[in-house]
């Protein structure tokens, strides 16, 4: 690459949203340059367990009815995401291990069943066809689960996909349509010029490159606040270090995605027979010598939380106690101040877009499509309005840009 280059958009971050947006925009004729500081899929996109969870998540429900009602706003996007995932293999022209055989959010107590009933009623009002199963119905549908469970909420479109191959599919497609994808390339500087375009300094293996562009998309996960800070802007995203575990292989016993309405749990079985266990149990951020978090190093497994995660999983599925734990790993995602994704144009900096926040594996493909439409048409689709950075515009009241 020459020492100075021009593109229609610079995308920073080679995860799912960055590569998928590059794919969509390159199809529309945009000259796309994507810069990834490490290798593609090296962040949260490749470290998650690949769940496709479209029911309202436990993290919204545990804060009470108001938070649950607020969280329900994401259901409209979940409905779009279901259709996106159903057609994604055909769209990209390759198998992606997408399995959408259904999902169960289980409950152990009557109080949790009441919470499920509240959740399902809200989802049904918004067009998501979940339904409540009692204990007998649940045992009939999923005999591998504990007979002591009180019941579950069922959604037939939930499932899982392979996070290790999806990003490459989008990146390969983007390259085939003319996008330039540079790995080992970090964004070292970013400034807005007086003509409201951007000048980015990219530091790669072959030296420094200056990229001039009218648009920038920051899609680098928990690094987005740091990158936005290069312009003196504030994006309220906070690192969330999590853990996932995998067991040895066993015969097919769990065709569904499993979640828990009252405890942190997600569980599924891969096509190879391994059981994947997660659900939002935190790991611990590494620290620098001065005691501040070191986001450039992998998070550290928190043994007490790992034991608690496995205990919940084994209580829900007793046969899990007979399996061997092969590996536990960590990954750092990020959440916003209101736990909804932040996707769209930054009000204080026209032409600067961000895309990060919770559930960006499940929602990543549909958010990338809507974001590409926003960038190409210069207007925000209705489905994206509740997720734009404009809801936090007050944080940039004192920003000074040309």
Each domain of the chain, given as residue ranges in start order, spans: 4-45+164-236+338-395, 101-157+238-335
pTM of the model: 0.95
Q: Do domains 4-45+164-236+338-395 and 101-157+238-335 have the same CATH topology?
A: no
The answer to whether 191 and 198 are in contact (CB under 8 A) is: yes
Three-state DSSP state, 250: coil
The answer to whether 244 and 277 are in contact (CB under 8 A) is: yes
Distances 193 to 139, 190, 384 between C-alpha atoms, Å = 63, 10, 28
> Which top CATH class is 4-45+164-236+338-395?
alpha beta
| Residue with tokens 């009933």, as numbered in its chain | 117
Q: Starting at the earlier edge strand, list the strands of the sheet with 207-213.
A: 4-6, 207-213, 198-204, 186-192
Q: What's the pLDDT score for residue 206?
A: 86
> Cα-Cα-Cα-Cα dihedral of 247, 250, 255, 256, to 10°?
-20
Q: What's the pLDDT score for residue 383?
A: 92
Structure tokens, 363: 């929602």
Q: What's the pLDDT score for residue 57?
A: 83
The answer to whether 355 and 367 are in contact (CB under 8 A) is: yes
Cα 321 to Cα 315: distance, rounded to the nearest angstrom: 9
Beta strand spans in 250-397 (E) = 257-260, 266-269, 274-278, 325-336, 342-345, 352-356
Cα 227 to Cα 220: distance, rounded to the nearest angstrom: 9
Q: Which of 338, 378, 337, 334 is nearest to 355 (CA)?
A: 334
Q: Which of 16, 52, 272, 38 is nearest to 166 (CA)?
A: 16
Three-state DSSP state, 52: strand
DSSP tag of 178:
T
Q: What's the pLDDT score for residue 70?
A: 61
Q: What is the CATH number of domain 101-157+238-335?
A: 3.30.9.10
Q: What's the pLDDT score for residue 338?
A: 85
pLDDT tens digits in sequence order for the chain, 402 residues long: 569 999 999 999 999 999 999 999 999 999 999 999 999 999 988 888 899 999 988 777 766 666 666 667 788 899 999 999 999 999 999 999 999 999 999 999 999 999 999 899 989 998 999 999 999 999 999 999 999 999 999 999 999 999 989 999 999 999 999 999 999 999 999 999 999 999 999 999 889 999 999 999 999 999 999 999 999 999 999 999 999 999 999 999 999 999 999 999 999 999 899 999 999 999 999 999 999 999 999 999 999 999 999 999 999 999 999 999 999 999 999 999 888 899 999 999 999 999 999 888 999 999 999 999 999 999 999 999 999 999 999 999 999 998
């Amino acid at each position: 690459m020459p020492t100075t280059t021009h593109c229609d958009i610079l995308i920073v971050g080679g995860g799912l949203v960055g590569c998928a947006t590059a794919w969509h925009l390159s199809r529309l004729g945009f000259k796309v340059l994507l810069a990834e500081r490490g290798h593609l899929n090296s962040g949260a996109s490749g470290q998650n367990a690949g769940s496709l969870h479209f029911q309202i998540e436990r993290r919204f429900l545990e804060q009470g009815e108001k938070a649950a009602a607020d969280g329900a706003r994401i259901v409209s996007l979940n409905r779009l995401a279901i259709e996106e995932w159903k057609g994604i293999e055909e769209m990209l022209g390759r198998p992606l291990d997408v399995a959408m055989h259904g999902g169960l959010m289980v409950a152990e107590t009557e109080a949790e069943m009441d919470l499920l009933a509240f959740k399902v009623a809200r989802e049904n009002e918004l067009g998501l066809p979940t339904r409540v199963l009692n204990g007998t119905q649940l045992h009939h549908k999923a005999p591998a689960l504990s007979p002591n469970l009180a019941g579950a909420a069922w959604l037939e479109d939930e499932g899982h996909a392979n996070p290790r191959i999806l990003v490459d599919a989008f990146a390969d497609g983007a390259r085939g349509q003319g996008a330039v994808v540079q790995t080992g390339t970090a964004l070292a500087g970013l400034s807005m010029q007086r003509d409201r375009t951007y000048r980015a300094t990219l530091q790669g293996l072959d030296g420094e490159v200056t990229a001039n562009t009218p648009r920038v998309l920051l899609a680098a996960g928990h690094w987005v606040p740091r990158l936005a800070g290069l312009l003196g802007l504030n994006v309220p995203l906070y690192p969330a270090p999590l853990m996932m575990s995998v067991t040895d292989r066993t015969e097919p016993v769990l065709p569904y995605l499993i979640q828990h309405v009252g405890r942190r749990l997600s569980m599924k079985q891969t096509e190879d027979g391994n059981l994947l266990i997660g659900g939002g149990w935190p790991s611990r951020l590494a620290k620098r010598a001065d005691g501040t978090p070191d986001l450039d190093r992998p998070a550290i497994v928190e043994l007490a939380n790992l034991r608690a995660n496995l205990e919940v999983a084994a209580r829900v599925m007793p046969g899990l106690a007979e399996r061997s734990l092969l590996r536990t790993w960590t990954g750092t995602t990020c959440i916003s101040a209101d736990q909804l994704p932040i996707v769209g144009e930054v009000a204080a900096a026209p032409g600067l877009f961000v895309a990060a926040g919770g559930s960006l594996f499940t929602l990543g493909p549909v958010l990338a499509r809507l974001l590409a439409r926003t960038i190409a048409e210069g207007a925000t689709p209705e489905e994206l309005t509740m997720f734009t950075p404009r809801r936090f515009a007050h944080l940039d009241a004192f920003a000074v840009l040309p």
